A and B are shown apart, each in its own frame.
Chain A
Amino acid sequence: MIARPASLLLGLAFLSAPVAAQDQAAVIAIPPLTTPDEKDTGAGSPGAIAWQASQLIASDLRTTAELVPVGPDQKDYYSYPEVTAPTFSRWRAKGAKFVLTGFVRSRPDGRLTVGCYVYDTVKGTELGRTGFVVAPDEWRRAAHKCSGIAYTAATGAPGGFDTRIAYVAESGPVSNHVKRVAIMDSDGNNQSFVTAGDTIVLTPRLSPKAEMLAFVSYVGGQAQVRIANLGSGEQRPLVQTGAMSFAPRFSPDGKRIAFSMQAGANTDVYVADSNGGAPQRLTAAPGIDTDPSFSPDGSKIAFESDRSGTQQLYVMNADGSGQRRISFGGGWYAAPVWSPDGEWIAFARRIPGAGSRIGIVKPDGSGEKLLTDAAFDEGPSWAASSHELLFQRTGPDGRPALYKITLAGGDARRVATPQDASDPDWSGALD
Chain B
Amino acid sequence: MRRALLLLALVGTAASAQLPGLRKRDPVPPPPLVLGIDALRGEFVAQSGSAMVYFGGDSAVLTPQAKATLAAQAQWLRRHPELVVRIEGHADPSDTRDHALAVGARRAEEVRDYLVLLGVPAAQLSTVSWGKEHVAVMGTAPEALALNRRAVTILVR
Contacts and interface: CB of A to CB of B under 8 A. Distances in A.
A247 interface: yes
Contacts of A355: 94, 140
Interface string B29-59: 0000000000000000000000000000110
B128 interface: yes
Contacts of B120: none
A274 interface: no
B98 interface: yes
A265 B110 contact: yes
Interface size class of B (residues with CB under 8 A): 20 to 34
Interface residues of A, number: 45
A425 to B, nearest CB: 12
B3 interface: no
A290 interface: yes
B99 interface: yes
A381 to B, nearest CB: 12
A244 B109 CA distance: 12
B140 A311 contact: no
Nearest to A348: B96
Interface of B: 57-58, 60, 92-99, 101-103, 105-106, 109-110, 128-131, 133-136, 138-140, 142, 145
Interface of A: 174-177, 179, 200, 202-203, 221-223, 244, 246-247, 260, 262, 264-265, 267, 288, 290-291, 304, 306, 310-311, 332, 334-335, 348, 350, 352-356, 375-376, 378-379, 394, 396, 398, 422-423
Contacts of B133: 177, 179, 200, 202
Contacts of A311: 58, 96, 99
Contacts of B103: 288
Given A354-B140, A355-B140, A265 B94 contact: no
B86 to A, nearest CB: 9
Contact of A378 (B96, B101, B130, B136): B96
The 3 A-B pairs at the shortest CB distance, nearest first, are namely A334-B96, A288-B102, A247-B98
B98 A291 contact: yes
A267 B99 CA distance: 10
Contacts of A247: 98, 101
A187 B39 CA distance: 54
